[in-house]
């Protein structure tokens, strides 16, 4: 499932095509994705201008001139693909229609944004912008890890007394928004912290040091266009490249890349999710 860097990369790719542009026509080709789509969704989108394109955690948020916001979750295989536009030196022609093109936005300048989702685990909803934080998908999400609210003091307080493994704590969207399995594994490896260690047993200096490491991992991943493991593509259809620099995730049995470490990367299962770590240098 796309994590924060992938969704942020998609948002940035969509900006020149959607933000400040009017949706000439919206086509909604099925009544549901993971859940039923909003009533009269096509009519409510058609003719509206996207005043701002934002991200909250793993959700894309398109604020509309109607006073509503379109909430988009990519799910496991969802893609927001652009066509019919020239960006930089490249022109992206309209592709042939695909049976998994579930929602299509025809923009005023001839551009097109297509939500394609083969597995239909994605989701969309429309909600009044003024009360967006009350939406059930968003109302319990913690601070953004690249924002000012996620700082050293906050994480120290959030970890205090917690008797859950630190990996589970960082995956808890109520503690920090947008982190998923890949980037938690990578951040803990860079920090030298065992994913098994209880969050409440991490010393204050180590918890403080984890904050800039999380920021660096996410920033590096965004710079690389995210990680493409199965279905993820950027808005222009290109792959992300951060997977080529993984230090831990997916590297079971390979030597630990930490300088001076003689260990190997091992895989364990925590809460049904694969965790990759080095038992030698992660303590």
Tens-digit pLDDT profile for residues 110-168: 999 999 999 999 999 999 999 999 999 999 999 999 999 999 999 999 999 999 999 99
Catalytic residue among 3, 6, 68, 186: 3
Among candidate residues 76, 58, 86, 70, the one with its CA nearest the CA of residue 28: 70
More confident residue, 245 or 137: 137
Catalytic residue among 11, 58, 79, 247: 58
Tens-digit pLDDT profile for residues 208-220: 999 999 999 999 9
Span of 42-56, 75-89, 254-268 with lowest mean pLDDT: 75-89
2: annotated active-site residue: yes
Tens-digit pLDDT profile for residues 69-111: 999 999 988 999 999 987 776 777 888 999 999 999 999 989 9
Write a three-state SS string for 102-146. EEEEEECCCCEEEEECCCCCCEEEEEEHHHHHHCCCCCCCCCCCC
Catalytic residue among 2, 5, 145, 195: 2
pLDDT of residue 224: 81
Query: What residues does CATH 3.20.190.10 cover in the chain?
Result: 4-134
68: annotated active-site residue: no
58: annotated active-site residue: yes
**Which superfamily, per CATH, for 4-134?**
MutM-like, N-terminal (3.20.190.10)
Tens-digit pLDDT profile for residues 1-25: 688 988 999 999 899 999 999 999 9
pLDDT of residue 133: 96
Catalytic residue among 22, 44, 266, 273: 273
3: annotated active-site residue: yes
Reported as type and span, the H/E element at residue 162 is none
What percent of the chain has a predicted confidence (pLDDT) above 90?
80
Q: In the CATH hierarchy, which fold is given to the domain comprising 152-278?
A: Helicase, Ruva Protein; domain 3 (1.10.8)
Query: What residues does CATH 1.10.8.50 cover in the chain?
Result: 152-278
């Amino acid at each position: 499932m796309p994590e924060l860097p992938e969704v942020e990369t998609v948002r940035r790719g969509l900006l020149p095509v959607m933000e400040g542009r009017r949706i000439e026509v919206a086509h909604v080709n099925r009544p549901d994705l993971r859940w039923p789509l909003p009533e009269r969704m096509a009519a409510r989108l058609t003719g509206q201008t996207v005043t701002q394109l934002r991200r909250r955690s793993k959700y894309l948020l398109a604020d509309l001139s109607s006073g509503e916001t379109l909430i988009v979750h990519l799910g496991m295989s969802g893609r927001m693909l652009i066509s019919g536009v020239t960006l930089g030196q490249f022109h992206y022609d309209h592709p042939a229609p695909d049976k998994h093109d579930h929602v299509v936005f025809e923009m005023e300048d001839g551009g097109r944004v297509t939500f394609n989702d083969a597995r239909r685990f994605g989701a969309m909803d429309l909600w009044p912008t003024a009360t967006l934080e009350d939406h059930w998908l968003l109302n319990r999400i913690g601070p953004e890890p690249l924002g000012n609210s996620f700082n050293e003091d906050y994480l120290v307080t959030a970890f205090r007394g917690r008797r859950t493994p630190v990996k589970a704590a960082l995956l808890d969207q109520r503690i920090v928004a947008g982190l998923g399995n890949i980037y938690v594994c990578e951040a803990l490896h860079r920090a030298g912290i065992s994913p098994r260690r209880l969050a409440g047993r991490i010393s204050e200096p180590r918890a403080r040091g984890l904050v800039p490491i999380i920021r660096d991992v996410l920033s590096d991943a965004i710079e690389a266009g995210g990680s493409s493991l199965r279905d993820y593509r950027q808005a222009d259809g290109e792959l992300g490249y951060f997977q080529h620099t993984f230090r831990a995730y997916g590297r079971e049995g390979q030597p630990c890349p930490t300088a001076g470490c003689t260990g190997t990367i091992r895989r364990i299962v925590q809460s049904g999710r694969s965790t990759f770590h080095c038992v030698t240098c992660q303590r």
